[in-house]
Structure 1
Amino acid sequence: MTAAQPDPLAARLDRYPVTRYPVQHATTQFHLGASRLAAGDPTAALDALTVARRVFGEASLRLEEAKATTMLGIALRESGRPAEAATAFRAAAESFAELGQPVEQAAASYNLGLVLRDGGDVAAAQAAWSTAREAFRASGQPAQAAACAREHGACLLTAGDPEAAQPLLEEAAVLAERAGDLPGLGAALNALGLALLATDRPAEAAETFRRALGASPRTVRPAEYAMAKANLALAAARAGQDARARLAARQSLAVPAAAAPVRAQARQVLAQLPPPPGNDLLDVLDEEPPDRWTATVREEVLRLVEAPAPERRAAVAGFLEGALARPGTAHALVQSFLHVLLELPPSGYDPMVQAVVGAAVAGGPEASPRNRDALRRVMRSAMARFPVPQWDRLAASFDAVAAESGAPLGWR
């Protein structure tokens, strides 16, 4: 708030002095504290929530007092006062239990678990999460129950017990998916993948990390995407899936939001693997069912859109030439590639079209005129499988770029 725009909640306090309007005053203090918490200023929230809790208690409004106590516990935890936060959460949970409010009691117990874990009391934290999880499940709150199971499982994993962590993390994933909580699903699957990796099941871990990627799209949650990609690279490398590991590691490193430990892990995976004997993307596609091709190609294209132009052109040329060397699947592979191109916004579509035309006209270092003609035939055939508007867009785009470079036309 600026001087010209005073905080309306603070202004409301003046209209409701505590001596005349105690309930309205306490309610305003509660909302003021909550807004300051949401703004990332827990210290400023403490005074307001302390007053709200006290005045609600003096007015014998026990439910409101307990809610203010929970919020106060959150502010204390975020202010670095864990012991006081734990006391507040215990008091809130006891009050909610006496008032017959199981969901609010579970929320206080969940937060108590977080504080206890941070303070090193792992056993007590796990007991708090177990209590909260059962209450949330019984009350039909799958997203909240999933969060409890996820924190409990992750705590066990960190404590060195991945076998015990696995069923909790599996439950967390099921509940989060049922609730439509994609961030929660991605977090649960990522932790589950680590538990599988810790129990020497790298192939299952790799598949779990792939599922985590589906819950953390690169354009929506890039940091989580990069982490899941780096973990996929590690699991694939341990499973002997070298091409997938290299591909995932490069894609993780291409995300600007990737955290430093994530980058370090991806680089380490790349450093420990041998150089690719062929084209990693095509080698991965060779092992996948066709219904996964477009999704796999999409992730690499998103990396190439942001890559330097020479790297992008070389990668596109390698993919198209490699597809041509697979006559049984060439048309379907190219169709998947073109499908991804059509999804791109202009900022990505235009440079990819330039790379495609460059590859089709010049080809790779060993491309002969005969191979270039064969590649253009395969591409035209793949384009013909699209509806007319999409086919026309591709053909017009390729012709325009080819004309600019003085290359032969003939995409239509």
Structure 2
Amino acid sequence: MTTFHAAVVRPDRSVVYCGEVSQAHVDEALAMAAVETAPRSAVRHPRRPGSVFVLREDGDLDWYEPVDAEPFVVRAPDPRSRPAGGHFATDDPPLAGEPVHGLAGTRWIPGAIRLGDGVIGGAMDTPGHPPRVVHHTTESPAGGRYLESVGSYLMLVACEPQLIYCPVTDRVGQFGSLHLSARALRNDGARRTNREGRVCIQIEVLGRARKPWTTGWDPAKKPGWRKILAAVRSWDVPDLFPAGRPAAYPGPGKSRSRSVWRSAGGHFGHVDVPGNDHGDPGAIDTAKVLYQAGPTPPRPNKPKVSVAHLVAAAKKDVPARDGHTTYPAEVRVLENALVAEGLLQRRYADGSFGSKTVAAYAAWQRSKAGGSYTGDAADGIPGIASLRRLAARHGFTATA
């Protein structure tokens, strides 16, 4: 029968060793944690068989590790992530050799509880790609001081996001700077999903995927969540879910599109990320997640964009001098949609159907959402079918 080391991890990361306990003791602790009304919850180590944790409402974490287990070494983070002096200010200066993409966004959320030493990841692999957010659930209870106990668990298993949020108490915790990578996703083959995009801000929400945490939750009364949204928006993350609303859990889920994940900016569920097999965060209410303060403005008439006008603009604007425009109002609607898809830099959304717009539209045609066109069919010149697909996603009407 296995013997375990028993320890208590405090919210300040200090560890109190409690000696060795039997398998029967651990089984009893897990059975008590499994009771629906118990103020604690059990979770196993994702990579170390036999190592288990009991999350406690008071913020402590009970840790049971088999005595014959190999010593556990947490992989070292990118040393460039740690500033001189080993501490993090509210607005850290750029690190030496760091890419300059997106340094204007919020790095540390004011008032957030700092968890750990602020070092979890490193620079992004594809900082020229669109910014995004990934939503997770911790599969634990919420309320109390579960934020601290779950935070301790995530640090011990080296699976930290940048942010953790409790929808009951509205408390926000932060493990690392928003402009650097987290460690809560699996790689997609050789592609490091944690480092995809200008930023990849990951949020663990206390709750369970089978019971969407947005049920009965009012973002208008949650200033902590609104701080998270303000920080996310400071990095120009679009207010949309490019892969659609996260699927209900349990259930069949949906396909994890690599083309959407890599090409589109916005919000994703863990269930949407290629290379991963988790079903969280469940069928959360995306309108609540993307809360906008104030009354809902009246819905304007959808702008109309003519394929014939766009084709004419492409034929005239590309060979003309820089900045030449033909149907600038309609072209600008198209370009704004391509910006939202992460295919065109905002500075090129100027109403001129130039070579940058042609290249961006060709990328849209090649994408799965745009129709998966290949060869000459993906020439960057709009057709009615691909334009209607774009219009359906971005609130305009495509006409012949």
TM-score, normalised via structure 1 length: 0.30
Higher share of residues assigned helix: 1
Larger Rg: 1
Higher share of residues assigned strand: 2
